Copies of this chain bind each other. A is one copy, B any other.
Amino acid sequence: MVNPFDLNEAITDIERGSRDLHERANRVISIGGDHTIALPLLRAMAAKHGPISVVHFDAHLDTFDTYFGASYTHGTPFRRASEEGLIDREGSMHIGIRGPLYTDQDLDQDTDLGFEIFSSIEFDDIGVKGAIEKIAARVENRPMYVSIDIDVLDPAHAPGTGTPEAGGLTSRELLAVIRSFSERNLIGADVVEVAPVYDHAQITGIAAAHVIYELLSAM
């Protein structure tokens, strides 16, 4: 039995379980948890496929070096993943980024880690079609992993999450972008940070369920 009070033990356990799934299936979708789980999931996937094109939907970069002094948390998975060589640095991107940064070096550092940044506010400029084209140009036909923090949606569409940020995507925009992934080589995905206790009228749960449905369809 895993001690749920020990974060590192849980990370190891998730990686083990995920490797086991990848041996038995070609594509895996993970549901739930906080964003810490992206690291063991990417480890399991890269062990099979090599460096992967990661398309990360989130209001936040999640590429801090440490978070409250800890190296393995829900604020650091994509820095760790880049350092460990799990991601393809030519084909990865963040989508939906917004909100304040801790230091002005956050954006530069992020680019060095291999991520192109596509901010939420750009959706009003180029529309859903423009967004789909931009992702296609970055990812091309590389093996693609999609990691969706539900807080990429505006709090109106997903209040039930731990660190909501105003100014996000609508559920319609997100669903249309995911639908376009039927043209890409989608080999894995996660949907994380849904927190039912903060939710109301199940708005967030409904959005997440539709996101998962479209991911399945795109696969």
Contact = CB atoms under 8 A, between A and B. Distances in A.
B129 A207 contact: no
Quickly give the copy total for this chain.
6
Given A3-B69, A73-B5, A154-B156, A197 B200 contact: no
Contacts of A4: 68, 70
Contact of A159 (B1, B68, B176, B200): B200
Given A70-B5, A70-B6, A172 B167 contact: yes
Interface stretch (A24-32, A45-53, A117-125, A186-194): A117-125
A155 B157 contact: yes
Contacts of A179: 121
A128 B125 contact: yes
Interface string A188-219: 00000000011111110011011101000000
Contact of A166 (B70, B73, B207): B207
**Interface range on chain A (Cβ under 8 Å from partner):** 35 or more
Nearest to A74: B5
A207 B99 CA distance: 11
Contact of A160 (B1, B70, B201): B201
Contact of A154 (B6, B73, B160, B171): B171
22 contacts: A3-B68, A4-B70, A5-B68, A5-B73, A121-B172, A121-B176, A124-B176, A125-B128, A154-B156, A154-B157, A154-B171, A155-B206, A156-B171, A156-B203, A159-B202, A164-B203, A166-B209, A167-B171, A168-B171, A170-B170, A197-B197, A199-B201
Given A125-B129, A166-B175, A166-B211, 19 more contacts: A3-B69, A3-B70, A120-B172, A124-B173, A124-B176, A154-B157, A154-B172, A155-B171, A155-B201, A159-B200, A159-B202, A164-B203, A164-B206, A166-B171, A166-B210, A167-B171, A167-B172, A167-B175, A197-B197
